[in-house]
């Protein structure tokens, strides 16, 4: 091929963009374009990733993700149609940690006595209070959350089927409970939402707690409506109160306690002995004898026998709150004003004087027009009736209902 022909071909190639230099440049441009597209995609992925992380940290993810769904059965007798109610991961977290905190508040520093170690993950320690093998504390609190939300769903369905709704007073009770979170800054939290999330788990905030409390208030109102549908005769009220009077009657009395000296055992533990308790009882006996012989009051007799002795005065104490070692003597039906006795305790002795017993046959602000004893009896009988209603109805629906958990449930747990 002649030189002129080659030049002509090269010129044609350049014009058509098919010469080597143009092809190389085009290839380089395409490479740069692909790189740009790749890094644009990578950048978008990074943005999406960090946006998702931020989304998780705000808790919105857990509030929007379904954690548990209750499928409750129908009950023709109660007017409940079969249906379902879903709860977010955050709502399940609240129910789960609500029971966890209730247990901690109940046992305080003694949680180790029931086998709960608050410093160890709940799914890594066995729960021994149920007797089940391979059953963790995480299982225990998760089971509670499921049972709680199942019963809540059924009772809310009952309320809706029977036109039971929350009124202003009900909402005021919810708001009163919510107001406890307003002191968040007193406990070192920036806001109520921060306090709630720290104590009740991921995604929980004021709105989550209030949503559950409103359902709980509605369920409670439904239960109260059922209980109030039961009425009882005066004879039934009197018989009921007679069976519990020692618990609900109030007592006024005074006593002086003689503490027995303690003695160290072989291990260095200090405790009262039979001999030192007998010595304490002898002092109490001498006070009683002083009262009888010199016609002195308990206070004066105690001061005469024991220098600086001061009585403990108890006024209108409910039977359920009486000093355990004095209870059986105080609730004896034969007690009358001025009765005095020496009662031996486990680490000393009492000299106690009975003043009065109030059998609650009077009205109060709480009981309204009813005598308080009748009011107590009515509520006890209604509670028994409600328990039977729950056994006959609620438990039957629960047995025929089901609970399903979703992907989000794995976020539930104490962290």
* pLDDT tens string 352-367: 999 999 999 999 999 9
Q: Do residue 78 and residue 219 come from a single domain?
A: yes
**What pLDDT, on a 0 to 100 scale, did the predictor assign at position 265?**
80
Q: What is the mean pLDDT of the chain?
A: 88
Same domain membership, residue 206 and residue 71? yes
Shared domain check, 196 and 153: yes
Query: Is the predicted pLDDT of residue 13 greater than 80, yes or no?
Result: no
Residue 6's pLDDT band (cuts 50, 70, 90): low
Same-domain check for residues 103 and 175: yes
**Hey, how many other C-beta atoms are within 10 angstroms of the C-beta on 141?**
23
- Write the CA distances from 400 to 149, 158, 219, 253, integer angstroms: 15, 15, 19, 54
- Looking at residue 48, its pLDDT comes to 38
The average pLDDT across 313-323 equals 96
| In a domain? residue 86 | yes
- 130 falls in which pLDDT band (50, 70, 90)? confident
Are 273 and 347 in the same domain?
yes
In a domain, 263, yes or no: yes
Domain count, the chain: 3
Same domain, 111 and 47: no
What's residue 393's pLDDT? 94
14 with 101, same domain? no
The reply to whether 268 falls in a domain is: yes
- More confident site: 47 or 301: 301
pLDDT range class, residue 270, cuts 50, 70, 90: confident
pLDDT at 319 over 60: yes
> Considering the domain boundaries, does residue 325 fall inside one?
yes
Q: How confident is the model at residue 269 (pLDDT cuts 50, 70, 90)?
A: confident
- Amino acid 412: pLDDT: 53
Q: 46: pLDDT confidence band, cut at 50, 70 and 90?
A: very low
- Together in a domain, 84 and 212: yes
In-domain check, residue 242: no
Whole-angstrom distance, CA of residue 27 vs CA of residue 334: 111
Would you say 134 and 126 are in contact if contact means Cβ atoms under 8 Å apart? yes
Confidence check: pLDDT of 131 > 90: no
Note whether residue 366 is domain-resident: no
Claim to verify: residue 197 and residue 275 sit in the same structural domain:
no
CA 370-372-374 angle, 5° bins: 65
Q: Which residues of 65-81 are buried (b: 16+ CB within 10 A; e: fewer)?
A: bbbbbbbbbebeebebe
| Residue 365 included in any domain | no
Helix count and strand count (H, E) for the chain? 14, 9
Q: What does the pLDDT look like over 276-300, one tens digit per residue? A: 999 999 999 999 999 999 999 999 9
Return the CATH number at 347: 3.10.50.40
220/268 same-domain check: no
Residue 128 confidence (pLDDT): 87
Q: Is residue 68 predicted with pLDDT exceeding 50? A: yes
Q: Give the pLDDT confidence score for residue 28 in this predicted structure.
A: 65
User: Do 324 and 347 meet the contact criterion of CB atoms below 8 Å apart?
Assistant: no
pLDDT in tens, 157-207: 999 999 999 999 999 999 999 999 999 999 999 999 999 999 999 899 999
Assess whether 112 and 257 both reside in one domain: no
Helical residues (DSSP H) of 77-233, grouped into ranges: 89-107, 137-161, 168-178, 192-200, 206-228
For residue 219, what are the domain limits?
66-233+380-411
With respect to residue 293, please indicate whether it lies within any of the assigned structural domains. Answer: yes
- Verify that 52 and 194 share a domain, yes or no: no
The residue ranking higher by pLDDT, 63 or 56, is 63
């Amino acid at each position: 091929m002649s030189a002129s022909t080659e030049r002509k071909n090269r010129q044609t190639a350049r014009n058509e963009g098919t010469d080597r230099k143009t092809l190389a440049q085009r290839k380089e441009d395409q490479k740069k374009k692909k790189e740009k597209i790749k890094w644009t995609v990578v950048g978008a992925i990074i943005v999406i990733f960090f946006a998702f992380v931020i989304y998780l940290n705000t808790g919105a993810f857990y509030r929007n993700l379904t954690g548990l769904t209750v499928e409750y059965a129908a009950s023709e007798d109660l007017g409940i149609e079969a249906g379902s109610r879903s709860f977010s991961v955050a709502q399940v977290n609240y129910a789960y940690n609500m029971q966890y905190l209730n247990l901690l508040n109940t046992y305080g520093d003694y949680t180790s006595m029931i086998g709960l170690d608050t410093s160890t993950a709940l799914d890594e320690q066995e729960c021994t209070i149920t007797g089940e093998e391979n059953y963790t504390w995480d299982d225990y609190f998760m089971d509670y959350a499921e049972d709680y939300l199942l019963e809540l769903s059924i009772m809310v369905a009952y309320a809706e089927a029977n036109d039971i709704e929350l009124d202003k007073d009900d909402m005021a009770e919810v708001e009163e409970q919510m107001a406890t979170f307003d002191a968040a800054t007193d406990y070192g939290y920036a806001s109520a939402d921060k306090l709630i999330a720290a104590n009740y788990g991921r995604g929980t905030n004021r709105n989550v707690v209030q949503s559950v409390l409103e359902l709980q208030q509605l369920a409670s109102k439904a239960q109260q409506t059922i209980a109030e549908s039961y009425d009882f005769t005066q004879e039934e009220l009197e018989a009921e109160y007679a069976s519990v009077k020692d618990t609900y009657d109030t007592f006024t009395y005074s006593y002086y306690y003689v503490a027995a000296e303690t003695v160290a055992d072989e291990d260095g533990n200090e405790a009262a002995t039979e001999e030192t308790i007998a010595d304490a009882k002898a002092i109490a006996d001498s006070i009683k004898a002083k009262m009888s012989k010199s016609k002195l009051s308990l206070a004066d007799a105690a001061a005469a026998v024991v220098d600086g002795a001061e009585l403990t005065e108890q006024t209108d104490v409910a039977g359920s709150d009486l000093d355990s070692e004095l209870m059986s003597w105080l609730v004896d039906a034969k007690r009358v004003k001025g009765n005095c006795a020496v009662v031996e305790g486990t680490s000393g002795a009492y000299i106690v004087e009975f003043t009065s017993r109030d059998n609650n046959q009077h009205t109060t602000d709480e009981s309204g027009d009813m005598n308080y004893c009748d009011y107590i009896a009515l509520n006890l009988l209604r509670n028994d009736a409600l328990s039977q209603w729950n056994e006959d109805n609620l438990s039957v629906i629960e047995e025929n209902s089901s609970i399903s958990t979703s992907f989000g449930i794995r976020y539930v747990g104490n962290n």
